[in-house]
A and B are shown apart, each in its own frame.
Chain A
Amino acid sequence: MRHETIIAEGRAERGLPANPVGAMSILEVRNLKVSYTASGPQILKGIDFAVGGDDFCAVIGPSGAGKSTLIRCINRLVEPTEGDIILFGQSVRPLGAGDLRRLRRRIGMIFQEFNLVNRMSVMDNVLSGRLGYTGAFRSFFKAFPKEDIDRALHLLERVGLSDHIDKRADALSGGQRQRVGIARALMQKPEILLLDEPTSALDPKISRDVMGLIRELAAEFKVPVLCNIHDVQLALETCNRIIGMQDGYKKFDGPSEGMRKQDLDEIYAMEVL
C-alpha cells in the first residue's frame, strides 16, 4: 500500500491527522473497488475517504483515473464490485430497488452534459427533480403540489433564469442549461450534492460562474459537495478539500491550501497524452 503511506506522510508533514476519515461524516467510502466486467480491468482499486458536513470536496486526476466511476458509485448509477459506501448512516450496496429510490431522492446530482430533457420546458425540467417525492397519479398528470412549484420559481430566480421559465430546455445556452441542472438538483432538498464534471462542457468564464454559483448555493443550503472536476485551477479556487486520484488509487487527500506543486506532479505523473 505504497500510495497510502505517501499520503499519510504527506499529511503528517503538514500537521494534519493521518486518517482523513472524520467522525462527523455524511458519506464514508471504504475500500471501494469497481470493475465493469468480471474479467475486465479494475477501475477503482480500493478507495477510502469520508465527506463531512461542510466539505466542498473536489476529486481531481488525469482522465481514466476513475473519478466519474467513483462519483457514480455513490448513488449506484454504477454498481460497486467490492467495499462499502455508507451514506447518511446507511449502507448503500445492499439496498433493494425501492430503498435505493428513497435514498437517491436525498442525493442531488449535476451532470457534465446537463442531462436535461430537451423537449420539455425549463419549469418541467426543474419540477422533475421532485419526482421521487411525487405520487404516480400526480406525476402522470404533471400536477405538482403548489409548494413544489413555489420552490421551483424561487430556485429559478436564484439561479437567474426567471425570464426563461417556459422556454424549452434546448433553447438555452450551455451555462443556462447547467443552471437548470443546478435548480433541478436543489429541488430535491438534497443532503449531499454529487457533481460529475459540471463545467467541462462550458467555456472557462462560464465554468467559473457556475462553480461560484454552486459553492454559494451549497453554503446557503448547507449541503456538502463531492465534485469531480478535471480543471485543477478551478478546483483549487472553488473547493476547500481535494482528493487526488490516479489509476484507481487515491493519491492525495487534504485541504486545498495544503496542495503543493509536487502533489500535483505526482497525481498527474502517469498521464499519457
Chain B
Amino acid sequence: MSITATDIPTIPAPKREWSRYRHPQSTIRFAVILAILAFLGWSVAFLNIDLSRILGAFPRLAEILATRYFPPDLDYVTDADFVRSVIRTLEMSLLGGFFGVLFSIPLAWLAARNITVSRRIAYPLGRFAIMGSRSIHETIWTILFVTVLGFGMLAGTLALTVFCIGFAGKLFSDELEAIDMGPVEAMRSVGASPLQVFQYAVLPQVRVAFTGIAIYTWDVAFRAATVVGFFGGGGMGWYLKRTTQQLESTRVAAILLVIVGLVLLAEIGSGWLRRKIGNMR
C-alpha cells in the first residue's frame, strides 16, 4: 500500500503567528551589536592604528629573530648557576602554590555564599580577601614585597602565595557554591558543628575538584614564577632581566626557550595528573 497525498492529514491554518525575533528585543539586540562594532571602528581610527605597519612588523620580527637571536646560547642555560636558578623558581612556585592553596581553602569557605559562617560578616571579608589578592597583578605584588623585604626568594614566594590565594580562592569558592546542599542539611540536622559539617558534608563533595584546582594553581604559579624574578623576586627571571638589559640576545633566546619548555612540561604534567584525578570521581 502506498501513501498518497490525501492520506496525510492537513494541518489547520494557525490561529496566531510565531517568530523567534520580536520587535523590541530584536531591534535592541541589533542596535547593541551595531554600537559595539561602531565603538571598535572608532577606537581603531582614534588610536591612529596603521594596519600596514602592523602587517609589516611580522617579517621584521622574523628577520630580527633570525639574525640577532639565533643561534640560542645553549651553553649559558646549561651553566650550573642558571640551572640552580631554575630549581629555585620551581621551589618558589611549589611553596607559593602550597601556602596559597592552604590559606585559600578557609577563605573560600567564608566566601561561599551557601555555606559561609555568617553572611553579614564572614562572607564580605572572605570575598574581599580573595578579590584583593586577585585584583593586583603578581608583578605588582613582587614589587611591593621587594620594597618591604628586599630582593630575593622570600619576596617572590610571598608574592606567589598571594597570587595563588586569589587564583585558587576564587575557583574554590565557585566550586563550594555549586555543591549539593542536601548532605549539609543532613549533617546540620544531626547536630554537627560547622567544622564537622564542612569536613563531612562539604569536603567529600569537592575533594576531587579541589585537587585538580590545586594542581592547576601550581601550573599557573610556575608560569608566574618565571616572571617574578624580573622584578627582584629571585629565580630565573633575574637572568632574563640581566641578559635583556645587556642586549645579549642569543642568551635571551636560550632562556625563553627554557621557559617555553618548562611551562610546556608543567602543563603536560598537570594536565595528566588532573585527568588521573578526574577519573577518580
Chain B residues, Cβ within 8 Å of A124: 200
CA distance A119 to B191 in the complex (A): 21
Q: B199: which A residues are within 8 A, CB to CB?
A: 139-140
- 4 residue pairs, one from A and one from B, having the closest CB atoms: A132-B191, A105-B191, A115-B182, A115-B186
B186 neighbours in A (Cβ, 8 Å): 109, 111, 115-116, 181, 184
Interface residues of B in 175-210 (CB under 8 A from A): 182-183, 185-193, 195-196, 199-201, 204-205, 207-208
Complex contacts, B190 vs chain A, CB 8 Å:
104-105, 109, 128-132, 184, 188
Could you tell me which A residues sit within 8 Å of B by CB distance?
75, 77, 101-107, 109, 111, 113-120, 124, 128-134, 136, 139-140, 181, 184, 188
The reply to whether B189 and A104 form a contact with Cβ atoms under 8 Å apart is yes
Per the bound structure, the CA–CA distance linking A139 and B186 in Å amounts to 16
Known: A101-B193, A104-B188. 10 other contacts (CB 8 A): A77-B189, A117-B204, A119-B205, A119-B208, A120-B204, A124-B200, A128-B187, A128-B190, A132-B191, A184-B190
Cβ-Cβ contact count across A and B, 8 Å cutoff = 78
Looking at the assembled complex, report how far the CB atom of A134 sits from the nearest CB atom of chain B, in whole angstroms. 8
What B residues does A106 contact at CB under 8 A? 191
B residues near A, CB below 8 A? Answer: 182-183, 185-193, 195-196, 199-201, 204-205, 207-208
* Chain A residues within an 8 Å CB radius of B183: 115-118
Chain A residues whose C-beta falls within 8 Å of the C-beta of B201 in the assembled complex:
117
| Secondary structure dominating the interface of B | helix
Enumerate chain A residues within 8 angstroms of B204, measured Cβ to Cβ. Answer: 117-120
A134 partner residues in chain B, CB cutoff 8 A: 196
Closest to B206 in A: A119
Residues of B within 8 Å of A104, CB to CB, are: 188-191
CA distance A113 to B189 in the complex (A): 15
The CA-CA distance from A77 to B187 in the complex, in Å, is 11
Q: Which residues of B contact A113 (CB under 8 A)?
A: 182
CA distance A107 to B192 in the complex (A): 12
Whether B193 contacts A136 by the Cβ 8 Å rule is yes
Smallest CB separation, A63 vs chain B (Å) = 19
| Minimal Cβ-Cβ distance residue in B for A105 | B191
Q: Nearest chain A CB to B91's CB is how many angstroms away?
A: 30
29 A–B contact pairs at CB < 8 A?
A: A104-B188, A104-B191, A106-B191, A109-B186, A109-B189, A109-B190, A111-B182, A111-B185, A113-B182, A115-B183, A115-B186, A116-B183, A117-B200, A117-B205, A120-B200, A128-B190, A128-B200, A130-B190, A131-B193, A131-B196, A131-B200, A132-B192, A136-B193, A136-B196, A139-B196, A139-B200, A140-B199, A184-B190, A188-B190
Decide: A102 near B182, CB < 8 A? Known: A131-B200, A140-B199: no
Tell me, rounded to whole Å, the shortest Cβ–Cβ distance linking B196 to chain A.
5
Contact (Cβ within 8 A) A101 B191: yes
A131-B185 contact given A117-B204, A136-B196, A139-B199, CB 8 Å threshold:
no
Expressed in whole angstroms, the minimum distance between the Cβ of A260 and any Cβ of chain B is 35
Residue of A nearest to B204 (CB): A119
Please determine whether B185 and A115 come into contact, CB atoms closer than 8 angstroms. yes
Q: With A and B bound together, what is the CA distance between A116 and B195 in angstroms?
A: 18
CA distance A134 to B196 in the complex (A): 9
Q: Verify A107–B189 contact, CB threshold 8 A.
A: yes
Bound complex: CA of A103 vs CA of B195, how far in Å?
A: 18
Bound-state CA distance A132–B191 (Å) is 4
Chain A residues with CB below 8 A from B182, complex form: 111, 113-115
Of B186, B187, B192, B193, which is in contact with the most chain A CB atoms at under 10 Å from its CB?
Answer: B186
Q: Which residues of chain A are near B196, meaning CB under 8 Å?
A: 131, 134, 136, 139
Most buried by B among A104, A109, A128: A128
| Complex Cα–Cα for A184 and B185 (A) | 13
Contacts of A131 in B (CB 8 A): 187, 190-193, 196, 200
Give Cα A75 to B183, complex, Å.
Answer: 16
Distance in Å: Cβ of A107 to nearest Cβ of chain B: 7
- Chain A residues closer than 8 Å to B208, beta-carbon distance: 119
**Complex Cα gap A114–B190 (Å):** 14
**How far, in Å, is A151 (CB) from chain B's closest CB?**
14
Shortest Cβ gap from A56 to chain B (Å)? 20
Contact A119 B189 (CB under 8 A): no
Q: Which residue of A lies closest to B182 (CB)?
A: A115
**Bound-state Cα–Cα, A129 to B190, Å:** 6
